[in-house]
Chains A and B, each alone.
Chain A
Amino acid sequence: MYSFLFYLILEVVGWMFLILSFMVIFIYLVMMILSSLEMRDYLRKNQFADYGDIITSPIAPGVSILAPAYNEGQTIVQNVKSLLSLHYGKFEVIVINDGSKDDTLEKLIQSFELEKSDFAYHAEIESKPIRGVYKSTNMSYRRLIVIDKENGGKADALNAGINAAHLEILACIDVDCILSSDSISRMVRPFMEETNKKVIAVGGVIGIANNCDVQDGTVTTYRVPETTLGRFQVIEYFRAFLMGRMAWARVNGLMLISGAFGFFRTDIVRKVGGYFPKTVGEDMELVVRMRRYMCEENIPYKVGYVPDPLCWTEVPESKDVLARQRNRWMRGTIETLQLHRKIKLNRKYGILGTVSYPFWSLFEKNAPIIEILGLIYTSILIFVGDFSAIYFIALLLMMYLLSLLVSSFSVLYEQIAFNHYKDKKDLRKLIWMILTEPLWMHPMVVWWGLKGHWDFIKGKGGWGSMIRKGFKTAEDRKNLSTQSIS
C-alpha cells in the first residue's frame, strides 16, 4: 500500500516537472514573439517621432530627477554636472545626501556654490529627519536642490526627494548612472502619447558600461566586459531588458521598473505614499503598489517601456558583490510578492493579478526552489532504482536548449535593433558565454536565489556594500588602467 503510494507520488511529481518544463518553454517562446512585435512597433514609431520639439515645448511635462547619494564623494560632482547638462527644458535635479559618511555633501557645497536655504520641507511621505535643503547662489545651478538627511536607505532618500519635488514627472535614478543627453525627452514621450489610459510609470533599459568608452554622458564604444561575470550579465541584461520587459510591456504586464532608471507620475506616487523603505525591492514594490492603486480606483492605466539605450551602469564583476546583489533581488521579489499577495489570481487586478503575479511567483521567486526540488527528485529516482538516464538527459538537453535559444535570441535581437557590439571578437565572447553560462553560472544564480530565500526566512535586511570601479571615459582609458573606489 505504502509502496504504491510512494510510486504514485513519484509519478505525479515527475509529470508536474514535465508540465512545468513545458510551461517554461511555452512562456519563453511567447515572450520572444511578443517582444519581437513590440520592438518592431517601437522602431517603426520612432521613425516618426521628432524629439526636437519636446525640449522647448510648453506642453511637455516638467521632470524632477531624484538622485540619492550615499558615500559617492569620489564621483558626485562629475555625476551631478552630467545630470544638470541633460537636454530638456523643464527639469530640476534633486540630490539627496543620505547621511553619507564621506565628503559627498562638502564637495557638492563647494562645487555648486550651495547655501543652506529656508526651504519649507513638508514630510508628506515619511522619511528620516532632514538636516537641511541647499540651493545654489549661482543661477547656472538654479535647477539643483540638495537635500541633506539622516541615513535611512535608498527608498527613504527617494521619499525625501519626492516630498521636495514639484514637477509632474519623477525620474528616479542612481546617481552614478550615465544618462544619455536625450534620455528625459525619450522617456517622457510615453507619458505624452497616451490618450485613453493614464501612463503611471515608464521603465528604461539599463546598459552595461564596464569596459566601454564614455564621452559626454554617452557610451561611444561598446565592448564586452573583461570578466566572465561581467559578460554573463551582458547576456542576462539583454534577456531581461530587451526580451522580458519588452514582452511584458506589450501586454501591459510590467511589474518591475529598474530602480536605477525609472520615471513615475508624481501625483500617483504621492497618492500611494511613495517608496516602502522596509523592503530591499523598493522599485518593484512601488510599481506593484501604483498598479494596484489604479486597479482599485478603476482608472485605466499603463506602464510604459522605452527600449532605447539611454542609461548605463557599472555591474559588479566580483562574485561576492554579485552574490549579494542577487540575494537582495530575490529578497526584494519575495517581499513584494508577500506584501501584495492579495492580488494573486484576482481578476480585479487584470493582467497584474492573473498573469504577472503568478509568473513572478512561479518563475522568479520559486524558480530556485523548483530547481533544487528537481535535483532531490532525481536523487530519489536514482536511489529507488527508477531512474531513466535517457529521460533525464533528454530533459536536461531540453532545458539547456531553451537557455541557448533564449540567450541567442536576445543577442541577435540586440544586433538587429541596436547593433552595439560591432567587434566580432566581442560577439564570439558573448556566444561562448551563451554556450557555457547554463553549465557554470546558472547553478550559482540558483544558489544565490536559495540563499536569498533563506535570508528572507531569517529576516535579514539591508543592501550590503556595492563596490564600484568608476566609469572609464575615452580620455580616462588612455591614462588609467584601473581605478578603484571602495
Chain B
Amino acid sequence: MKESKGLRDYDWWLFALVFTICGISLLEIWSATHASHLAGMQWKQVWWIVFGVIGMLILSRIDYHTILDQAPIFYLIGIGLLIAVLAVGHTRFGAKRWLPILGAVLQVSELVKLIIIIVLARYFSELRSERLDLVDLGKLAIIVGIPLVLILKQPDLGTAMVLVPLTAVGAFLAGLQWKHAAALVLLGAMMVPVGWHFLKPFQKERVTTFLRPEDNPKGAGYQILQSKIAVGSGGFWGKGLGNGSQNQGGFVPVRYSDFILAALAEELGFAGVVVTLVLYMALLLRLVQNAQRAKDRAGMFLVMGVAAVIGFHVLVNSAMVIGLMPVTGIPLPLMSYGGSATLFVFLALGLVMNVRLRRFVN
C-alpha cells in the first residue's frame, strides 16, 4: 500500500488553518499598502503563496528519510551559502542577508533554518541513548554553532535567535538532563555581557530602546512606540479595515511585514487579534499532534522542529508588536509580506505533510 498516499491523507485541518491565516494576511497587506506606492503588494504575496504551496507539495512527496539521508550535504550547502552571503550578498537595511537566486533575491537564513531543522532531526534521531550526555551536547553545539556564528556575522540576530529554541526543543525531547539545562542557562546568562560587546551599534540601540523607549520617541524608540499606539488605539473592534490612521499614515513601521500584526490590531481590534492568535495556537497544536503521530523519532523531531520555529516566530513577533520584546526583524509566519519567509513556512509545512503522509507506512 506504499503508493496509496492520496490527497485525503494530507492534513486538511492544517491546510484550513494555514489558508485562513493567509487570507487574513492578504487582506491586511492590501489594507496597509493600497493607498501608497506599494499598492498591489498582496498580489505578489499571492504568488509567493502559490510557489510555497507548490514547493510544499513537491517536498511532501519525497520521503523524508531520503531527505534526512542527505542532511550532511544540505548542511554543507547551507554553510556554503552563508559564507557566500557574507562574501557577495546584497546589503539591505545595513545587513547582508540577501543572495540573488533564480532572479529573485532570497534571504539565505530562511533556507538555513529549514536545513538546520533537517540536520537536527537527523542528529537527534540517531542518538542511541534516551539521555543526552556531554559529548552529545558538544556535538550539538558544533553543529548549531557554526551556522549561528555565520548568521550573527550578517548580522541577523533574529534568525540566530530562532536556532536557540529549535535546538532547545529538540534537545529537550531528546532527553536533555536537568542539570545540563540549568548549567546551559547559567552559562547563557553569563554570556550576555560578553555577547553585548559583539553586538552591532544598531542592535545595541534596539535593545536599549526596548528597555527605555521613552528616551527617544522619534529615533530608535519610534517603531515600538508607534506600534503600541497602533495596537492600543485599535480598541476592541478596531477602526475598520483601511481606516487605521497609524497604519494608513505610515506611522507603523513596515506595516505590511514585520509589524503587520500592529496594523491588524489597529484596524480589526482586539477581536481580530484573538481570532488571529487562536488560529496560530490551533496551528501549533495541530503540528504537535502531527508530531505525536509520526511513525518514528526522525519524523517527530522534524515536525517538532518546524513547530518550534513557527511558534518562536509567532511569540517573538507578537511580543515585539506590543513592546514586550525588542525589534529583531522576525516576521509573523504566513502573515508578514515576504518571499523568503513565506517559502520557508510552506516548505517546512511540506516536511510536516511528508511525515504525516507516511505515519501509517511501515
The reply to whether chain A is a binding partner of chain B is: no
List B residues at the A interface (Cβ < 8 Å): none
Spell out A's residues near B (CB within 8 Å): none
